[in-house]
Amino acid sequence: MKPIYLDNNATTAVAPEVLDEMLPYLRDLYGNPSSMHTFGGQLGGRIREARAQVAALLGAEPEEIIFTSCGTESDNTAIMSALEIYPGKRHVITTRVEHPAVYNFCKHLARKGYRITYVPVDSKGRLNMDAFNKALDDDIAVVSIMYANNETGVVFPIEEIGTLLRERGVLFHTDAVQAAGKIPINTKTLPVDMLSLSGHKLHAPKGVGVLYVRKGTRFYPYIIGGHQEQGRRAGTENIASIIALGKACVLAGKNLETEAAYLSKLRDKLEAALLLDCPDARVNGDTEHRLPNTTNISFEYVEGEAILLKLDEFGVCASSGSACTSGSLEPSHVLRAMGVPFTAMHGSIRFSLSRYNTDEEMNRVIEVLPPIIKELRSLSPYGREKLVAEKISQCKTSST
């Protein structure tokens, strides 16, 4: 049975067109682009083409694109570069809801003696701009704030933040791993200095990413060795994946608006039906500024893991937090930062869609999930508590 895959913020299927494009470079054209012979050397042209394709998706120049191994490497590289460039500056500003690629890296930096400000968010996951403004000082090496949140899909006001930082001459990195290919990004007008993206979130394979570095931005490499990527990221190029990412960016860019409209229609249908059919369900996050493919819904008084296991029996794949935190029973640091109540935090499920999802699939989830929630509530201690509370209130209202 084909799964109903609604976990596309964790990873996406490699698009068939992307796979076709990359396979020759795994099978036959396996040369090293740094080689002197034609067999390897001819690949340089294909890397240049892929670089231009990625640049086009971001409104960037090809030379502003550095290929990396993943979003995490891009994020780490951006922050480390800033710290190397400004050795006298000891303050890093980020947010309380970043992906671990930034959040845990900043915790690591704190242990090394850097001062980290984690800007808080409100109950809808929106950035507290007052707290952000108050954190600004003359000791900042870099500000790293995500474009869109992987768990809730909430989109931050990157343009506003970048404008403020540019006025102060502060280096700005944004983790756009979830945003790239889902919403328009134009670095020509967007005031960011560095931006990360990851191939496997936009239908390219895992193991390839990009760090955009604006022309003129001082940069220090994180991975040091050979002269690849103009000395900005050493290591023999992952040529097949780089070519795949180029193709994936072409596909994403070509259909960005129609795909966003398609995804938000499916997502909104799913969300509305689940809120209607499941009592005590709520959406986590600002629904006005959100990625078109994501909804994070809390089903109060039930454990998210139990919901996932039941959904899995029906072939439905979703997530109870970010891919990196699932597997532990720690509640999500994102939902905690938003102050989501305990009973709702534990029953949160993220559905994240892709171009390959269909209306029939939404109908199936709408059919199977409400009975799952009902059944789990009747079994769980929180559910029983809730049912008892409901019974008491029913008795009260019927006796008045």
Q: Which is nearer to ligand PLP, 24 or 327 (CB)?
A: 327
Taking CB under 6 A as the binding criterion, the range among 40-48, 71-79, 83-91, 303-311 that sits at the site for ligand PLP is 71-79
Give the CA angle between residues 107, 304, 263 to the nearest 5°: 85
Query: Is residue 324 annotated as part of the catalytic site, yes or no?
Result: yes
Q: What type of residue is 85?
A: I
- The distance of Cα 121 from the centroid of its chain, to the nearest Å, equals 17
The residue type of 264 is S
Q: Do residues 373 and 13 lie in contact, with contact meaning Cβ atoms separated by under 8 Å?
A: no
77 in Cβ contact with 222 (< 8 Å):
yes
Contact residue for ligand PLP among 99, 267, 333, 377 (CB under 6 A): 99
What minimum distance in Å lies between the beta carbon of 178 and ligand PLP?
Answer: 5
Task: Write down the catalytic residue from 70, 106, 324, 395.
Answer: 324
Site for ligand PLP in 248-287 (CB under 6 A): none
Decide if residue 12 touches ligand PLP (CB under 6 A). Answer: no
Percentage helix, strand, coil for the chain under 3-state DSSP, each rounded to 5: 45, 15, 40
Contact 91, 141 (CB under 8 A): yes
d(CA 354, CA 34): 36
Bridge partners for 39 per DSSP: none
User: Which of residues 177, 248, 266, 373 is near ligand PLP by CB under 6 A?
Assistant: 177
> Which of these segments, 29-37, 67-75, 302-310, 379-387, binds ligand PLP (CB under 6 A)?
67-75
The residue within the footprint of ligand PLP, chosen from 97, 101, 119, 376 (CB under 6 A), is 101
Instruction: Give the chain's largest Cα–Cα span.
Output: 90
- Tell whether residue 146 is a contact of ligand PLP (CB under 6 A): yes
Contact status: 209 vs ligand PLP (CB under 6 A): yes
Contact 316, 365 (CB under 8 A): yes
Length of the chain: 400
Residues from 291 through 330 that contact ligand PLP (CB under 6 A): 322-323
Stretch that binds ligand PLP, among 43-51, 70-78, 306-314, 342-350 (CB under 6 A): 70-78
Nearer to ligand PLP, 178 or 293 (CB): 178
Q: For the CB of residue 384, give the shortest distance to ligand PLP in the complex, in Å.
A: 35
d(CA 60, CA 214): 8
Residue 198 or 228 having the CB closest to ligand PLP: 198
Q: Are 224 and 233 in contact (CB under 8 A)?
A: no
Residue type, 62: P
Q: Provide the 8-state DSSP code for 206.
A: S
Residue sitting closest to ligand PLP (CB): 71
- From candidates 94, 152, 174, 198, binder to ligand PLP by CB under 6 A: 198
Binding region for ligand PLP (CB under 6 A): 70-72, 75, 99, 101, 146, 150, 175, 177-178, 198, 200, 209, 322-323
Which are the catalytic amino acids?
324
